[in-house]
Amino acid sequence: MATLIDRDQLQELVARGAQLVEVLPADEYKEDHLPGAISIPLRQVNRESAKQLDPSRDLIVYCWDMA
Amino acid sequence: MAPRAAARLELLGFRQVHEYKPGKLDWMASGRPTEGENSTRPRAGTVARKDVPVCAPADRLADVRDRARGAGWDAAVVVDGERVVLGLLRAAELAKEGELSIEEAMRPGPSTFRPYVPIKEMADYLTGHKLESSPVTTLDGKLVGLLLKADAVREAEGCPDCVRKMI
């Protein structure tokens, strides 16, 4: 199960090389996303899209809020 | 949405998956920078004046008025020790009897807005609601600055509407 993190922990992990993934629809990513994040909308999370991620590094996923 | 994506990635073999549960809303509401088409457009947080005078509920109105006007302001924001917004003093409140405490004189619980709201939307809102200014705060209510309608309207000229409404 994924570890829940807050903003400070996110910044620490990113500073140590974590990958950031926004899972919102692509048009929302185009408007605004966290610095350095890549876009993999929820419905496109699959074996193919996961190839752009490095399984040896920490991975942080986020959407708009807690919903 | 993020929990489902995290679960899917774990099924695909990722072992170090974290979920930033508060999400993009939390990031943007804290005033941190973003990337993307909207990132360079002016927003409430970038246009709000950070040098607005602040005061405490127990302060004396005459003292705050002198300090605010001395700094060229006709407004002040009432905050607690953590800079959480408690009230607002616009021109009408500052003009009240000087011996009143700020708690007695202030307009309590003013509407506040988050830093990420596009300036065009803020200009339309302040104009439509006949507000001369409004505090901009983080999600936990801490003061970022005071957004003046005149600043918002000026910055919004020629600025395209944001795709998504945020108020």
pLDDT tens-digit profile of A32-64? 999 999 999 999 999 999 999 999 999 999 999
pLDDT of residue B162: 57
Write out residues 18-47 of A within 8 Å (CB-CB) of B.
18, 21-24, 27-37, 40, 42, 45-47
Tell me the pLDDT band of B38, cut-offs 50, 70 and 90: confident
Weakest mean pLDDT among A27-31, A34-38, B37-41:
B37-41
For B16-78, the DSSP string reads SEEEETTHHHHHHHTT---BSTTTTS-BHHHHSBTT--EE-TTSBHHHHHHHHHHTT-S-EEE
Domains and CATH numbers, chain B: 17-157 (3.10.580.10)
**List of chain A residues whose C-beta atoms are within 8 Å of the C-beta of residue B6:** 2, 61
- Give the integer Cα–Cα distance in Å for B35 and B51: 27
Report phi then psi at A60, rounded to 5: -115, 125
Q: Which helix (H) or strand (E) holds B5?
A: helix B2-11
Confidence of residue B83 (pLDDT cuts 50, 70, 90): very high
CA dist B39 and B108 (Å) reads 33
Task: Give me Rg for the CA atoms of chain A.
Answer: 12
B39 band by pLDDT with thresholds 50, 70 and 90: confident
Residue B163 is predicted with a pLDDT of 52
Q: State ipTM.
A: 0.96
Q: Is the pLDDT of residue B157 over 90?
A: no
Give the β-pairing of A38-39 and A19-22. parallel
